Structure 1
Amino acid sequence: MSNSYAQPILRTADLSEALGIVERLLGIANLQDLEIDFDGLVFSADVLAPLLELLPHAQWYAKGDTGGSSEKGDDPSAHFPVRFRAFAEEPEMVGPFLDAVGDSLATVRWDFMGWPEAPEVGLGTGGTRGAFVTLGVNVRDLDLKESSTDYTVWVHVKYVEAKRAPWLAAQVGLSVIGDLVMAPY
Structure 2
Amino acid sequence: MSNSYAQPILRTGDLAEALRVVRQLLELADTSSVEVDLQAVARTPGELKRLAEVVPEADWWAYGSDRPGSSREGGTAADHLPVFLSDWSRPIHMAEVFLAAAGSASAMVRWDFDGWPAAPEVNLGRGGTRGAYVTLAAHAHDLYLNEPADVHTVFVHVKQVEAERAPWLAAQVGLRAIGELAMAPL
For the aligned pair, the TM-score class normalised by the smaller chain equals over 0.9
What is the distance in 1 between the residues matched to 2:47 and 2:122?
A: 43
Deviations 1:77-97 (A, max 9, x none): 221111100100111111221
Give, as a single letter, the amino acid of the residue that structure 2 aligns with 1:119. Answer: P
Deviations 1:47-93 (A, max 9, x none): 11221121122110112444111122211122111110010011111
Which residue does 1:135 correspond to in 2? 136
Which residue does 1:174 correspond to in 2? 175
Which residue does 2:52 correspond to in 1? 52
What is the distance in 2 between the residues matched to 1:81 and 1:182?
A: 26
Checking the alignment, whether the CA contact within 8 Å between 2:2 and 2:185 is kept in structure 1 is no
1:44 shift after superposition: 1.4
What is the distance in 2 between the residues matched to 1:39 and 1:73?
A: 19
Deviations 1:102-126 (A, max 9, x none): 2211111000000000011010111
Which residue does 1:37 correspond to in 2? 37
Q: Which of 163-172 and 75-84 deviates more?
A: 75-84
Counterpart mapping for 1:11-160 below 5 A: 11-64=11-64, 65-160=66-161
1:2 shift after superposition: 2.9
TM normalised by structure 2 equals: 0.96
Superposition RMSD in Å: 1.1
1:184 shift after superposition: 2.9
Structure 1 unaligned segments of length 5 or more: list them.
none
1:129 shift after superposition: 1.1
What is the distance in 1 between the residues matched to 2:52 and 2:97?
A: 12
What is the distance in 2 between the residues matched to 1:163 and 1:112?
A: 19
Q: Does 1:165 align with 2:166?
A: yes
Checking the alignment, whether the CA contact within 8 Å between 2:105 and 2:139 is kept in structure 1 is yes
Structure 2 unaligned segments of length 5 or more: list them.
none
Checking the alignment, whether the CA contact within 8 Å between 1:35 and 1:88 is kept in structure 2 is yes
Where 1:128 maps in the other structure, the secondary structure is coil
Checking the alignment, whether the CA contact within 8 Å between 2:12 and 2:151 is kept in structure 1 is yes
Where 2:139 maps in the other structure, the secondary structure is strand
Where 2:33 maps in the other structure, the secondary structure is coil
Where 2:137 maps in the other structure, the secondary structure is strand
1:15 shift after superposition: 1.0
TM normalised by structure 1 equals: 0.96
Q: Does 1:183 align with 2:158?
A: no
Percent identity, aligned pairs only?
53
Give, as a single letter, the amino acid of the residue that structure 2 aligns with 1:162. Answer: A
What is the distance in 2 between the residues matched to 1:77 and 1:16?
A: 30
What is the distance in 2 between the residues matched to 1:181 and 1:152?
A: 14
